[in-house]
Chain A
Amino acid sequence: MTRFSRLTLPALILGATALTALPLAAQTTLTVARSVDADGLDPQKVSTTQSSQVTDLIFDTLVTLDASGVAHPGLAESWEISEDNLTYSFTLREGISCHDGSAFGPEDVVFTFERAVAPETMNPRRSQYGPIESVTSEGNVVKVRMTEPYGPFLSYLGSFSIPMICRSSVAADGNFTPVGTGPFTLVEWSRNDHITLKANDAYQGFSPLIENKGRPYIDELKLVVIPEAVARMAALRSGEVDLAEPSLEEAAILENEPGFKIYSADLSGQQVMAAFTWKLAPFDNPEVRRAIGMALDRDSYAMIAYEGLVSPTTCPAAPGLIGVDLEKCAAWGTSYDPDAARAIMEGLGYTPQNPLKIKLSVHALPGFDQMHQMMQQHLAEIGVEAELETREVAAFFDQMSQENLRTEGTPVLWTMGYSGVDSDYMTVMWQQPGFVNMGVGAELDTMLADQRMLTGDARVAKLQEVQQYLLENTYAVPLVSPGWNWLWASTDKVDGFRTGFVASIIFNDVKIAE
């Protein structure tokens, strides 16, 4: 062996060793455990929050919403609304890329709308797109024309219900592969097991809810499915996942435990309310409904049943949404006053010895169970004996569809949680026939139809008129907000995670500490 080779060989080995020892830029992966998987990744064919939580990461929206629900530019840098409120003209930003590298443009927007409203798409959210007559483009401007004014359009456009999909998402044979302009691109989906996403290097974000307007800080996002709450928490505690949906009980424990953080959605647009089968005597008497409303103590439900992780609420639409004024609602609706409630019921002949017998029909959700037991006790105090009936979700809504049509039989008090980005969801719920046939009557129908025709302050006033009507007649007793799928827990290594409207999950600002 020559002197050269005797020296160079160790040098090469040393050099190679040194190179391998150099700290390479470590790939950061955030692993998130959810209880259920997405039903699909085609945003025009899914309806569950868990599905939209994922599609919202892949696709962006024409407009964005701030924490007050006000619309701001998104993929559209500006827009104009015609004087008759029928035509929306969106000027698109230039320089936006789809995940496959193609330029995002007006053709994609037109394609999105046309596909969304086409009957063969079977879009479960078709009605949120509104009464669209035509969608056309001229240069960089897309015009959406409605057959009649549609006030909530901008709110829905800013939500995960109406994301913009790139045309390349749909292959010639009709197969769908999610290609959007959002902060993450799809790497892999193993249904019911995991979804792997990677950061979109070319991302440009515009949402007022995010600080980092460029590529997400994390490189990879892995959404795993762990159905059992105990197993999810074990995975979080063992470090197998960084972020997880906790049970309500676990959230209350982790909140006071070092090393963990709890996130409770404050922009969820969600709430829980009680409603009546008001066609059935004596619930056809507004005084009886009012007495029951006064018997329900929303403060204690929030503090005890929900471990203080929700807030009491007073409006039929969720806090933060357009037209929602909690103080006004408090004046219009019922507040906890068991003495007054008892007096009303006694006047009608109902006492603890001769109680009004009703059913309390519910479906099981975290926090709901304990709240319902407390409701039973509160009702008993004013001479109402409530038999608790718990069903799983699908059977519950089926049952309530039938109960709300009945005009004879045992009256039912029932609870439900619901969510949205615009108070317009009161139209879906209360306009006849209404959600699970809970529609009220022609007077309210007209008010709900009118609010859709309006914009700005006039719409706010009309939405408040609707809420006043619902509360003064005690068709609804708002209880707490949020109340469904609104909790997250992470290790304290995770920083910058937040939730958006309707329990959307936002990772643009997330950093993971070493």
Chain B
Amino acid sequence: MLTFVARRLLTAAITILVVVFLAGVLIHLVPGDPITAMLAQSGNASAADIARLTGQYGLDKPVWQQTLLYVSNVLQGDLGTTIRGNEPVAPLLLGRLPNTIILAVAGLGTALALGIPMGVIAAVNRGRAADFAVMLIAILGVSIPGFWMGLTFIQFFSLHLGWFPVAGTSARNIVLPALTLGIVHSALVARMTRSALIDILNEDYIRTARARGLREREVLMVHAMRPAMISVVTVVGLVFAHLLGGQVITENVFSWNGIGRLAIQAMLQRDYPLVQGFMVIFATSIVLVTTALDLLYGLLDPRVRRR
């Protein structure tokens, strides 16, 4: 087990190091100069101002030098300072990470709360109208763009019914973005639940359970659901990782003060240190989540440890 843990941790460390390097170099491939973009808005950006600030931020150095410097700084725990406003990057991003995690957890919870019952209904009614209807709803959920669904929710629930505030980051504000994310991701959970449950419901031991005269509800909840959930749990990690990075648009629509909104603004402004910091922190979060899941699988299933 120790070798397995060490191997996974080493893989995680190498992955993070590669991400730091890529964050350092890739940003320079995106067209757009951060200083010109910043000073263009001031209306009085002289060429001298641009040249001076470009030099002061070290952006006049060759890309390889900037990349090496960046990797070296990150390894020493320094993510740099923003070009806009000259603020330290790390506290800026880490301060918003909890909001992103809270919304991801709420979105995931909603996806599970919607997706699992939908999958069960579809599985036990396989081939019938209910199965078709549930899967249609699931496909609709995943097909409708999240930003459109979000804006529609704002129009209906906030503007017409007045149930929830339009914008902000609080307990009352989380309902609509969580619902939006949940509906979008519930399709995957529903499909996974359905297919896992259908496979299990065809197993011999289920037939045996029915032959023993157990009620259908008991067969389903006790004997079929538990093994089916193993497959669902596998999806949870993937959905959660996707939610951490994929909720950028939802954060923007609902003005949720998460890391994604900050990243969008930073990308549009070409605020290199902030974009790089986002990539590093986001990728590190994903690597940590997946590593934790790997370790958990290893703990639960000895076959994984031997691979």
Q: Answer whether residue A42 sits at the interface, using C-beta atoms and an 8 A cutoff.
A: yes
Q: Answer whether residue B36 sits at the interface, using C-beta atoms and an 8 A cutoff.
A: yes
Q: How far in angstroms is the closest Cβ of chain A from B171? A: 15
Cα-based distance from A367 to B100 in the complex (angstroms): 34
- A224-B168, A398-B36 as given contacts; A231 in contact with B151, CB under 8 Å: yes
Q: Judge whether B96 and A192 touch: CB under 8 Å.
A: yes
Cα-based distance from A46 to B82 in the complex (angstroms): 11
Contact with B along A207-231 (1 / 0, CB 8 A): 0000000000000000011111011
Q: Answer whether residue A480 sits at the interface, using C-beta atoms and an 8 A cutoff.
A: no
Q: Answer whether residue A128 sits at the interface, using C-beta atoms and an 8 A cutoff.
A: yes
Q: Answer whether residue A47 sits at the interface, using C-beta atoms and an 8 A cutoff.
A: yes
Cα-based distance from A206 to B174 in the complex (angstroms): 44
Contacts of A358 in B (CB 8 A): none
Contacts of A226 in B (CB 8 A): 166-167, 255
Interface-located stretch among B10-18, B45-53, B217-225: B45-53
Q: How far in angstroms is the closest Cβ of chain B from A392? A: 6
Cα-based distance from A49 to B44 in the complex (angstroms): 11
Q: Judge whether B167 and A42 touch: CB under 8 Å.
A: no
**Chain B residue with the shortest CB-CB distance to A229:** B151
Contacts of B253 in A (CB 8 A): 227-228, 231
Counting contact residues on chain A (CB < 8 A from B), the size range is 35 or more
Q: Which A residues contact B (CB, under 8 angstroms)?
A: 33, 36-40, 42, 45-49, 51, 119, 122, 124-128, 161, 190-194, 224-228, 230-232, 234-235, 237-238, 240, 269-270, 391-395, 397-399, 401, 418-420, 424-425, 427-428, 433-436, 502
Cα-based distance from A48 to B84 in the complex (angstroms): 9
Q: How far in angstroms is the closest Cβ of chain A from B257? A: 4
Q: Judge whether B49 and A126 touch: CB under 8 Å.
A: yes
Contacts of A49 in B (CB 8 A): 41-42
**Chain B residue with the shortest CB-CB distance to A435:** B45
CB<8 Å pairs between A and B, sample of 20: A36-B265, A37-B265, A42-B86, A125-B49, A161-B42, A193-B168, A224-B168, A226-B167, A231-B254, A231-B255, A235-B167, A238-B159, A393-B37, A393-B268, A394-B32, A398-B32, A399-B31, A418-B43, A435-B46, A436-B40
Contact with A along B40-77 (1 / 0, CB 8 A): 11111111110011001100000000000000000000
Q: Judge whether B270 and A394 touch: CB under 8 Å.
A: yes
Contacts of B84 in A (CB 8 A): 39-40, 46-48
Q: How far in angstroms is the closest Cβ of chain B from A446? A: 17
Q: Judge whether B155 and A398 touch: CB under 8 Å.
A: no
Q: Judge whether B43 and A398 touch: CB under 8 Å.
A: no
**Chain B residue with the shortest CB-CB distance to A427:** B46
Q: How far in angstroms is the closest Cβ of chain B from A249? A: 14
Which 10 pairs of residues, A with B, have the shortest CB-CB distance? A40-B85, A394-B32, A394-B37, A39-B84, A39-B85, A193-B257, A47-B42, A419-B43, A235-B166, A127-B46
Given A224-B167, A398-B37, A424-B44; 12 other pairs, CB 8 A cutoff: A40-B86, A47-B84, A122-B53, A192-B261, A193-B169, A193-B255, A238-B162, A240-B166, A394-B34, A394-B36, A420-B44, A502-B43
Contacts of B270 in A (CB 8 A): 394
Q: How far in angstroms is the closest Cβ of chain A from B252? A: 5
Contacts of A394 in B (CB 8 A): 31-34, 36-37, 268-270
- A46-B85, A228-B253, A230-B154 as given contacts; A397 in contact with B167, CB under 8 Å: no
Q: Judge whether A124 and B53 touch: CB under 8 Å.
A: yes
Cα-based distance from A418 to B43 in the complex (angstroms): 5
Q: Answer whether residue B293 sits at the interface, using C-beta atoms and an 8 A cutoff.
A: no
Selected from A36, A128, A192, A270, the residue in CB contact (under 8 A) with B257 is A192
Q: Judge whether A47 and B41 touch: CB under 8 Å.
A: yes
Contacts of B158 in A (CB 8 A): 234, 238, 240
Contacts of A192 in B (CB 8 A): 96, 257, 261-262, 265
Q: Judge whether B56 and A119 touch: CB under 8 Å.
A: yes
Contacts of A224 in B (CB 8 A): 167-168, 255
Q: How far in angstroms is the closest Cβ of chain A from B60? A: 14
Contacts of A122 in B (CB 8 A): 53, 56-57, 86
Q: How far in angstroms is the closest Cβ of chain B from A126? A: 6
Contacts of A38 in B (CB 8 A): 85
Cα-based distance from A270 to B38 in the complex (angstroms): 17
Selected from B33, B92, B167, B269, the residue in CB contact (under 8 A) with A33 is B167
Q: Judge whether B39 and A124 touch: CB under 8 Å.
A: yes
Cα-based distance from A434 to B44 in the complex (angstroms): 11
Selected from A48, A191, A391, A428, the residue in CB contact (under 8 A) with B44 is A428
**Chain A residue with the shortest CB-CB distance to B35:** A124
Cα-based distance from A458 to B30 in the complex (angstroms): 46
Q: How far in angstroms is the closest Cβ of chain A from B12? A: 30
Cα-based distance from A191 to B82 in the complex (angstroms): 13
Q: Answer whether residue B203 sits at the interface, using C-beta atoms and an 8 A cutoff.
A: no
Q: How far in angstroms is the closest Cβ of chain B from A365? A: 12
Cα-based distance from A420 to B42 in the complex (angstroms): 8
Q: Judge whether A428 and B46 touch: CB under 8 Å.
A: yes
Q: Judge whether A237 and B159 touch: CB under 8 Å.
A: yes
**Chain B residue with the shortest CB-CB distance to A52:** B42
Cα-based distance from A228 to B256 in the complex (angstroms): 11
Cα-based distance from A35 to B25 in the complex (angstroms): 30
Q: Judge whether A128 and B44 touch: CB under 8 Å.
A: yes
Selected from B33, B36, B95, B165, the residue in CB contact (under 8 A) with A240 is B165
Cα-based distance from A400 to B57 in the complex (angstroms): 22
- A224-B167, A227-B261, A231-B254 as given contacts; A127 in contact with B36, CB under 8 Å: no
Q: How far in angstroms is the closest Cβ of chain A from B88? A: 11
Most buried by A among B40, B53, B253, B270: B40
Q: Judge whether B38 and A47 touch: CB under 8 Å.
A: yes
**Chain B residue with the shortest CB-CB distance to A393:** B37
Q: Answer whether residue B216 sits at the interface, using C-beta atoms and an 8 A cutoff.
A: no
Cα-based distance from A514 to B147 in the complex (angstroms): 35
- A192-B262, A425-B44 as given contacts; A227 in contact with B49, CB under 8 Å: no
**Chain B residue with the shortest CB-CB distance to A194:** B168
**Chain A residue with the shortest CB-CB distance to B259:** A192
Q: Answer whether residue B87 sits at the interface, using C-beta atoms and an 8 A cutoff.
A: yes
Q: How far in angstroms is the closest Cβ of chain A from B33? A: 5
Q: How far in angstroms is the closest Cβ of chain B from A440? A: 13
Cα-based distance from A419 to B43 in the complex (angstroms): 5
Q: Judge whether A397 and B261 touch: CB under 8 Å.
A: no
Contacts of B39 in A (CB 8 A): 47, 124
Selected from A42, A190, A395, A434, the residue in CB contact (under 8 A) with B85 is A42
Contacts of B38 in A (CB 8 A): 47-48, 124
**Chain B residue with the shortest CB-CB distance to A422:** B44
Q: Judge whether A161 and B168 touch: CB under 8 Å.
A: no
Q: How far in angstroms is the closest Cβ of chain B from A238? A: 5
Q: How far in angstroms is the closest Cβ of chain A from B213? A: 57
Contacts of B252 in A (CB 8 A): 227-228
Selected from B41, B151, B169, B265, the residue in CB contact (under 8 A) with A230 is B151
Q: How far in angstroms is the closest Cβ of chain B from A268? A: 10
Selected from B41, B96, B154, B169, the residue in CB contact (under 8 A) with A234 is B154
